[in-house]
Structure 1
Amino acid sequence: MGKQQQIYLILFFVMVAWGLNVTATKVLVENFMPVTMTALRIFVSGISVFIILFLMKKVRMLTKREFLYVFFGGLLNVVAHQYFLSTGLTQTSATNGGLILGMGPLLTAILAVVFLGSVVTGIRVIGIVLGIAGVSFIVFQGNGGIDGVSMGDVYIFVSILAQAASFILIKKGSETLDPRLMTGYMLVMGAVILFIISLFIEPEGLASMHNESMNLWAVFFASAIIATAIGHMLYNSAIGKVGAAEASMFLNLNPFFALVGAAIFLGEKITMAQIIGFIFILLGVILGSGAFEETVRKIKRKQKMTIAK
């Protein structure tokens, strides 16, 4: 197995963890105050990353330029993304949340056009339209149109938009900084900021964390260490190696595993509107992110090489 195939296999397992983590987060926000719980969960994640990197002798101080990338990347990837995700899941289903999170690659591609000068083609425009149509199917289903759109759905969309924006900064920062170390710094900084926010909006937040259920704490630590710490380390490392666009393509698998997790562990029913929305988002991501065009280019290159031989 080649190095690139190994990275793709790792990304696949990260997507399994992240998809199931939507269900885990839904369970946690129903039992703890969301922002306080998220701040503590992310802090555990950040400390876990630093322990792993310390053992690997990868920990070092940041330069001023790297600090800026880490700080603003953390504001987007940790504070904004996690705040709106945990708050949103208190007001919508894990199924809806997982499907809307599937917009990640498409939003990353759009932001790459705006900030990195990526080329806009007709195929990509079609993909963007399909992606928007897919989200529309999901958030409007059963709510009586736009007037009934759940605020939870809106929060989830803002959450994935913030994360997509952070991937651009992570790609820039990874030019000089190990993405795994960048992950650790972002998680710890973001967790501290989130905790300060929680003190104001959830004064009883720490008291809400008192729970003697071993199963619930098992979900908490699995979410913190496996999905967030190890998952983000591996994903951000992949961004540094294969690029933001290619790595983000694997986010297509998130909605599928989120659907499976919500159906198996929470007993949520999957509606026809959600299935249609998922198909539209998947098609939108494949076309809008440039994956379709890149595949066509690779096929043509192989054909030319075969003819040349």
Structure 2
Amino acid sequence: MRKKGRKLTNHLTYVLLTVNMMIWGLNTVAIKVLVEHFPPLTMQSMRIFFAGCLVSSILYLRREWKPMALRDWKWIFGAMIFGVVGHHSFLATGLSLTTATNGAIILALVPLTTTLLSFLLLKDRLTWLRSVGIALGFTGVALVVLNGGESLQQSATGDLYMFGAMFSQALSFIFIKKATDTLDAKQVTAVMFSIGSFCIFLLSLLLHPAEAGALADGSPGVWAILLSSAVIATGLGHMFYNSAIPRLGTGQTAIFINLTPFFALVGAVIFLGESMVWTQAAGFLFIVAGVFLGTGALDHKRPSIESGAWKSSRKGTDI
């Protein structure tokens, strides 16, 4: 009976993880809507601030805060600079200049880039199969970015920002892996969000001082999207993802992250009316194939070896 109950619990967790990935995918669409109504950096600072307040409050009520040593702060600072300030600043700015479709496809490179960085910085194993996967993935992005003269002129800068968002997030996984060796992932996330949101706000004041008060002009509907993105997708979404790891294991949980770009693409077509040309579809297929090869998802003969992307993904970083 106990084994049967555990099996049912796992099945429910699979369903809820799929729903969570759908929410994370649609969050890309939500941010695309928000940057059309709010200044990108100011909006991101508020969105991340609300998420940080939520996670911090839950940790405080559960009395799960742990004292942090100087070594912990070193890794958290790096994770905050790349995973919050860099990733979210590039993300919002990029989505203000390019389509959510292009953004979602470029962000699908995160697992492959993390694998490559883990090989370069952490000396993780990189087999020839994973090398082929990485090459396929970046070929796919080239197809997406170079999808036509008009699109190239209109969105090349936005695509470059999205590539910066993707690379920053992948690099932050290296620091998060180090920080969570001694701290709970939820506490790392709370500190990153709380301090990082303040840094983004200062950056927005420095670069666009006249836009600081623009949030007051948002309609109730747009504010509802912002709060939902902060609380549901960023705050609660990562809390649930973290809780699924001890139930399913690192590898099984991280596989679900590969569903996020798919839901983002579907959401962009349904809610934003964006279309997908054949080069974008081909590029997405190249990236999907590259992710399965490059992250070791097909490496059944060595199940104990996890890719850098999978190791990092279990830390519950932001999408």
Check whether TM > 0.5.
yes
Change (3 A) 1:143 1:232: farther
Kindly state the Cα deviation for residue 68 of structure 1 after the two structures are TM-superposed.
1.3
Kindly state the Cα deviation for residue 296 of structure 1 after the two structures are TM-superposed.
4.3
Matches within 5 A, 1:106-121: 106-121=112-127
Match of 2:144 in 1: 138
1:200 to 206, 212, 219: 206
**Residue 77, structure 1, aligned to residue 83, structure 2:** yes
Matches within 5 A, 1:79-228: 79-143=85-149, 150-228=156-234
Question: AA paired with 1:136?
Answer: A
2:17 touches 2:256 (CA, 8 Å); kept in 1?
yes
SS in 2 for 1:175: coil
Match of 1:53 in 2: 59
Match of 1:262 in 2: 268
User: CA-atom RMSD, angstroms?
Assistant: 2.3
| More displaced stretch, 230-239 vs 92-101 | 230-239
SS in 2 for 1:291: coil
SS in 1 for 2:126: coil
In the alignment, the residues of structure 1 paired with residue 274 and residue 167 of structure 2 have an alpha-carbon distance, to the nearest angstrom, of 25
Kindly state the Cα deviation for residue 61 of structure 1 after the two structures are TM-superposed.
3.4
Query: Aligned pairs, how many?
Result: 296
Q: Could you give the per-residue CA deviations for residues 228-277 of structure 1, whole angstroms, max 9, x where no partner exists?
A: 1122334456679945x765543321211111111111111122111111
In the alignment, the residues of structure 2 paired with residue 203 and residue 101 of structure 1 have an alpha-carbon distance, to the nearest angstrom, of 29
Question: AA paired with 1:187?
Answer: F
| More displaced stretch, 22-31 vs 114-123 | 114-123
SS in 2 for 1:47: helix
SS in 2 for 1:31: coil
Match of 1:252 in 2: 258
1:179 touches 1:240 (CA, 8 Å); kept in 2?
no
Change (3 A) 1:266 1:235: same
Match of 2:40 in 1: 34
In the alignment, the residues of structure 2 paired with residue 173 and residue 4 of structure 1 have an alpha-carbon distance, to the nearest angstrom, of 28
1:134 touches 1:279 (CA, 8 Å); kept in 2?
yes
Change (3 A) 1:212 1:285: closer
In the alignment, the residues of structure 1 paired with residue 17 and residue 74 of structure 2 have an alpha-carbon distance, to the nearest angstrom, of 27
1:108 touches 1:248 (CA, 8 Å); kept in 2?
no
2:38 touches 2:218 (CA, 8 Å); kept in 1?
no
Change (3 A) 1:104 1:43: same
2:98 touches 2:155 (CA, 8 Å); kept in 1?
no
1:171 touches 1:239 (CA, 8 Å); kept in 2?
no
Kindly state the Cα deviation for residue 290 of structure 1 after the two structures are TM-superposed.
1.1
Change (3 A) 1:147 1:28: closer
Identity of aligned residues (%): 42
In the alignment, the residues of structure 1 paired with residue 160 and residue 254 of structure 2 have an alpha-carbon distance, to the nearest angstrom, of 21
Question: AA paired with 2:30?
Answer: A
SS in 1 for 2:166: helix
Question: AA paired with 1:65?
Answer: R
Kindly state the Cα deviation for residue 219 of structure 1 after the two structures are TM-superposed.
0.4
Kindly state the Cα deviation for residue 282 of structure 1 after the two structures are TM-superposed.
0.2
2:37 touches 2:218 (CA, 8 Å); kept in 1?
no
SS in 2 for 1:30: coil
Match of 2:70 in 1: 64
Question: AA paired with 1:163?
Answer: Q
For normalisation by structure 1, the TM-score amounts to: 0.88
Match of 2:238 in 1: 232
Match of 1:306 in 2: none
Change (3 A) 1:76 1:246: farther
2:137 touches 2:288 (CA, 8 Å); kept in 1?
yes
Question: AA paired with 1:170?
Answer: I
For normalisation by structure 2, the TM-score amounts to: 0.85
